[in-house]
Amino acid sequence: MALDRWVSFIILCAALGYGYAAFFTMDAGLPPFMQRNPIWPSTFPKVLSVLAIITALVILLGLEKSGETGKEPEIDYRRLGDYQLGQALTLLGLMVGYALLLRPAGFLLSTFAFLCCGAFILGERKFYILLPVAGFAAFVVWYLVDEVLGIFLRPWPFFV
């Protein structure tokens, strides 16, 4: 079995576990007044798990390749060193660093740094475009979550 199908099988198993938790265990402790709401805290996890299961099944069953006439090369797991693993692992490390710095550094600074560093790792070198776009994107996301949705995100570092 090809590497993409193995990965989709792993994602399918994780999505099935996530879906079980979303459908059967998340709503058990809801207070009575929330049980009559049309949208529960588990609504988004339920939708996400169903979409992940469908997508993983499409890849696992090979339905996405049925219309292709030309044979594209598959990912060869024996030649993983030929792919750009350094970029992928650096981006994964950057994501972990972003998650760890989100509270102490604040949302705006950590998101701006994550977007700039991630774009630099992926090869963007036009800093006169990168810096304003990253700053604007971080601010817009913070504004939408904090002001529009009403979910508090600490915008500045803890010492400010």
**Average pLDDT, integer, range 24-37:** 78
Per the structure, the complete domain to which residue 93 belongs is given by: 85-148
The residue among 41 and 67 whose pLDDT is bigger is 41
Judge if 71 and 98 occupy the same domain: no
* CA 154 – CA 106 distance, rounded (Å): 5
Per-residue model confidence (pLDDT) at position 24: 86
pLDDT above 80 for 29: no
Last residue within a domain, chosen from 81, 109, 129 = 81
Decide: helix, strand or coil at residue 157.
coil
Q: Which tokens go with 151?
A: 């979910």
pLDDT above 60 for 69: no
Q: Residue 91: which pLDDT band, with cuts at 50, 70 and 90? A: very high
* CA 90 – CA 97 distance, rounded (Å): 10
CA 96, 99, 100, 105 dihedral sign is positive
Residue 23: exposed, middle, or buried by beta-carbon count in 10 A (0-12, 13-18, 19+)? Answer: middle
| pLDDT tens digits for range 1-24 | 677 888 899 999 999 999 998 888
Residue 156 lies in a domain: no
Judge if 8 and 75 occupy the same domain: yes
Last residue within a domain, chosen from 81, 113, 134 = 81
Residue 154 lies in a domain: no
**Average pLDDT, integer, range 39-61:** 90
Q: Residue 97: which pLDDT band, with cuts at 50, 70 and 90? A: very high
Last residue within a domain, chosen from 81, 106, 135 = 81
Q: Residue 86: which pLDDT band, with cuts at 50, 70 and 90? A: confident
Q: How many domains does the chain have?
A: 2
pTM value > 0.75: no
Judge if 70 and 26 occupy the same domain: yes
Judge if 10 and 61 occupy the same domain: yes
Residue 159 lies in a domain: no
Judge if 118 and 96 occupy the same domain: yes
Residue 157 lies in a domain: no
pLDDT above 80 for 145: yes
Q: Phi first, then psi: give them for residue 34, nearest 5 degrees.
A: -85, -15
Per-residue model confidence (pLDDT) at position 104: 92
Residue 17 lies in a domain: yes
